[in-house]
Structure 1
Amino acid sequence: MCGITGWVSFDSDLRGRRETLDAMTETMACRGPDDSGTWLDTHAALGHRRLAIIDLPGGRQPMSVRTPNGEVAMVYSGEAYNFTELRAELKSRGHQFTTDSDTEVVLHGYLEWGEGVAEHLNGMYAFAIWDARDQKLVMIRDRMGIKPFYYYPTADGVLFGSEPKAILANDLAKRVVDADGLRELFAFTKTPGWSLWKDMYEVEPGTIVRVDANGIHEHTYWKLEATPHTDDQETSVARVRELMTDIVHRQLVADVPRCVLLSGGLDSSAITGLAAARLAEQGEQLRTFSVDFFGQEENFKPDEMRDTPDSPYIRDVAKLVGSSHQDVMLDPNALTDPEARRKVITARDIPAGMGDMDVSLLLLFTAIRKESTVALSGESADEVFGGYRWFHDETARNADNFPWLAYNTGIHERGNMLRPDVQSTLAIQDYTLDQYRTAVAKVDHLDGESELEHRMRTVCNLHLTRMVRALLDRKDRASMAVGLEVRVPFCDHRLVEYVYNTPWSLKTFDGREKSLLRHATKHVLPQSVTDRVKSPYPSTQDPGYAAALQQQAKEVLAEKDNPVFTLVDRNWLTAAVEQDPARMETVTRGGLDRALDLYHWFDLYRPEVQLG
């Protein structure tokens, strides 16, 4: 796992621009603490930071191959879980290898199949290849968008990087944020290709972007397609079990210590059970980690999203599988530490406003990195199998809006902390509905679908093409900020394709959410987890958290000319700091988090905000 960056300029000689390339590369030192490398040619410059996972001595990058017609150089971030099979196939076609790394396999795959190499890969990846034979740059991103990848067109080429910060380190990239960028920041619709920064774009998941002297060209090599599902219930469960077992086994392959993130929910517990069984076969004990808050279990109060605390279920799983388990315990002081908030914003390059859920994730990963370099996560199971509560809420799923927004109206209300004129300019509700209609229009359907199946295919598609991408980005940035590789078995495209095309009646055949997953993995789960109702990522209920936010907000209010007030409504913030923290509504606490994120983001990034 790594960080990549680069620069292509068809009208300039970049061989003398090593200092700029080094600056771009250095921004991603956290993503790759083990090694750094650069490669420069006349019109292309590539930078790489490496986190060594497989073939620790042999996977240095940038990696290149000289051909009779020019050099082909690559920078690669990610893992190809089928690289062993691909190496064997490429050897049979005459390719010779000097390392055991998957990077070399991907590079030779490109030499063999060209841009079609993407269709041969199973994994999470973002990579860029400068092909001097044709004077072109090829950028390829994995099917689900697990690994981030951004680019910024210039007058004569392009800048690119794993994260915006790498691109922003080049003076050609302007730190401008306009209304379109801010709309998405507050809307939570994950518009494809969106970047907060003006004129910067994502390489979309499942997409190849080619840059040559004639411009920038995009090609989609994978997308969700509707296909008939002919397996019965028993066969479907067996197929999910088969896929899950194979996926976890593949994703446990590493030359460094591994672990699993365990929350006590069905998703992470299923991964834990399968991983523990596999490692036991190899004579190893699985390590598991969870995050919790001091006093949370003893003082837990059910709310609209969480019926039970996580801890009892975590203990049940750890006991059943015999894992070496560690709870990472946090208190309000750790969660509200301004330096931790600034680290989160720097990691994500955006003022996301997710507060304690972002900070606790970063602190959890920081603790894990002391023991392990690779972690498996249950992320994305809810999107794949239909686990969120709004999947099963008739009003939310039938609304003329994204279901997660129709169910969680407070998400939009967080925009209330913006100045009235800013709210009027952004028109977030209109933007959201426009994005919703655009997304729905792209969903492929089968002829003869019932009204329910037609609707639920749409709902599932929205989660897999929109919502999941935001959560995967959050996970990647927080983990790579501390040099931890987090793998997501539920994003294997084979599993996604299969489950996506199972009818909703099969996804809920036992009258519960995630029926297929529950029955496919119940052989490795304690009964308590099998019976547990979906519970999302934990959030602290300690009123001391809100009180600390209020105190920090008071300090912000004391800075009368701070640029944060070009966006944040001073009157709203003044009223929020005067509320009783023990009775503060979730939406107000979220608004405080967002205001503080914006405050630190302005300080860290010095953006130019254009709302006109």
Structure 2
Amino acid sequence: MNLCIKCSEVITVCGITGFINYKKIISESDKNILFSMGETLNRRGPDEKDEYCSNSVGLAHRRLSVIDIKNGHQPMIKENNNNTYVICYNGELYNTKEIRNKLINLGYNFNGHSDTEVLLTAYIEWGSDCVKEFNGIFAFVIYNKLTDSLFFARDGGGVKPFFYYNNDFEFIFGSEIKALLKHPSVSSNVDKFGIAEIFLIGPGRTPGKTAFHDIKELKPGWCGTFSKSEGLNLWQYWKLKAYEHKDSLSDTIYTLRSLIYDSIKRQLVSDVPLCTFLSGGLDSSIISAVASEEFKITNRGRLNTYSVD
């Protein structure tokens, strides 16, 4: 089994990493560094691995194949209006079908049915506003070859990790800190703040921070760009809003049930076998019950479940 459901999310684990450096063109030495960075993420993506290098940028991906095994290869490249776009993406979009239909109506064609291609095409059409269309969990980087710049984003719940280092001319990123530490520009220095993070908060951390002085975390619901002319630019595109609860008990039950069923059903899209993890709590029991019911309705056979003794 390559995929399991735990609590309220499908665990889709891939690994992304890479860098851009405006003071140099990618050399063989840089390609070796990129490969070493990617190798630290092998356990996140055991099915496929590849790198993309051009001009000043290097992108690496380690894939756990879940949707569109044949056409979902990454880094994914797409040409449009004499420009080249390249994506490294970790996550899953739960409204892929809806976004895809919007883009088809706008005249776009697709080579496969992966959410990766849909996400990349959404950026081509809507630019940085594409994140407002997404319902899912994600961390991704898109390279725009014409502008020689990066756009990157992280999902609102912060399910998918994204760490980075930057200076005036260089941006380095990865799904895990150890990928960044393979790059010679990134040091493993720990200052007083980092010590406090480890002993006072660990294993948690202050949003946007890490224990290492040079390494930062992209906050949940934030995105950004890195370019030669403007450097690093970050902004928040989503945040949780609180409202007074005025619904009746019956309306609340109906709304909650609808949201739970919709959330679970959207996460049952896969080209590989699905299973659920039973932890003994109400959440995994509800998920398994809804998933099992959906399997029967769609004639997908019996749902496999696992638990740990």
TM-score (norm 1): 0.47
Question: 1:155 offset after TM fit, Å?
Answer: 4.7
Q: Could you list the runs of 5+ residues in structure 1 that have no partner in the other structure?
A: 293-612
1:5 equivalent to 2:22? Answer no
Matched residue SS, 1:280: helix
Alignment-derived partner of residue 231 in structure 1: 247
Alignment match of 1:63 (pick from 52, 73, 76): 76
Cα distance in 1, alignment partners of residues 161 and 272 from structure 2: 23
Cα distance in 2, alignment partners of residues 208 and 132 from structure 1: 19
Q: Which has the higher strand share?
A: 2
Alignment-derived partner of residue 179 in structure 2: 166
1:253 equivalent to 2:266? Answer no
Alignment-derived partner of residue 10 in structure 2: none
Aligned partner letter, 1:5: T
CA deviations over 1:122-149 (Å, ceiling 9, x no partner): 1111000111232221110001000111
Alignment-derived partner of residue 197 in structure 2: 184
1:92-491 equivalences under 5 Å are 92-188=105-201, 190-213=205-228, 214-283=230-299, 284-292=301-309
How many matched pairs? 292
Give me the identity figure in percent: 38
Question: 1:69 offset after TM fit, Å?
Answer: 4.8
Question: 1:103 offset after TM fit, Å?
Answer: 0.3
Question: 1:153 offset after TM fit, Å?
Answer: 0.9
Tell whether the 8 Å contact from 1:154 to 1:172 is kept in structure 2 after alignment.
no
1:43 equivalent to 2:82? Answer no
Tell whether the 8 Å contact from 1:34 to 1:51 is kept in structure 2 after alignment.
yes
CA deviations over 1:264-308 (Å, ceiling 9, x no partner): 22111111111111112233211222223xxxxxxxxxxxxxxxx
CA deviations over 1:484-538 (Å, ceiling 9, x no partner): xxxxxxxxxxxxxxxxxxxxxxxxxxxxxxxxxxxxxxxxxxxxxxxxxxxxxxx
Aligned partner letter, 1:118: V
Cα distance in 2, alignment partners of residues 231 and 44 from structure 1: 51
Cα distance in 2, alignment partners of residues 255 and 179 from structure 1: 47
Q: Which has the higher helix share?
A: 1
Tell whether the 8 Å contact from 2:22 to 2:170 is kept in structure 1 after alignment.
yes
Question: 1:60 offset after TM fit, Å?
Answer: 0.4
Matched residue SS, 1:60: coil
Q: Point out which structure has higher relative CO (alpha carbons under 8 A, 6+ apart).
A: 2
Question: 1:15 offset after TM fit, Å?
Answer: 4.6
Cα distance in 2, alignment partners of residues 77 and 15 from structure 1: 26
Alignment-derived partner of residue 22 in structure 1: 35
Tell whether the 8 Å contact from 2:188 to 2:214 is kept in structure 1 after alignment.
no
Extract structure 1 runs of 4+ deviating beyond 6 A: none
Cα distance in 2, alignment partners of residues 39 and 107 from structure 1: 15
Aligned partner letter, 2:174: G
Tell whether the 8 Å contact from 2:38 to 2:179 is kept in structure 1 after alignment.
yes
Alignment-derived partner of residue 82 in structure 1: 95
1:432-581 equivalences under 5 Å are none
Aligned partner letter, 1:209: G
Cα distance in 1, alignment partners of residues 92 and 80 from structure 2: 25
Tell whether the 8 Å contact from 2:168 to 2:231 is kept in structure 1 after alignment.
no
CA deviations over 1:376-401 (Å, ceiling 9, x no partner): xxxxxxxxxxxxxxxxxxxxxxxxxx
Question: 1:186 offset after TM fit, Å?
Answer: 2.4
Tell whether the 8 Å contact from 1:15 to 1:41 is kept in structure 2 after alignment.
no
Cα distance in 2, alignment partners of residues 38 and 58 from structure 1: 16
Q: Say what the alpha-carbon RMSD is for the aligned residues.
A: 1.4
Alignment-derived partner of residue 33 in structure 1: 46
Cα distance in 2, alignment partners of residues 114 and 277 from structure 1: 39
Cα distance in 1, alignment partners of residues 153 and 17 from structure 2: 13
Matched residue SS, 1:55: coil
Aligned partner letter, 2:240: L
Aligned partner letter, 2:289: G
Q: Could you list the runs of 5+ residues in structure 2 that have no partner in the other structure?
A: 1-12
Alignment-derived partner of residue 3 in structure 2: none
Question: 1:85 offset after TM fit, Å?
Answer: 1.2
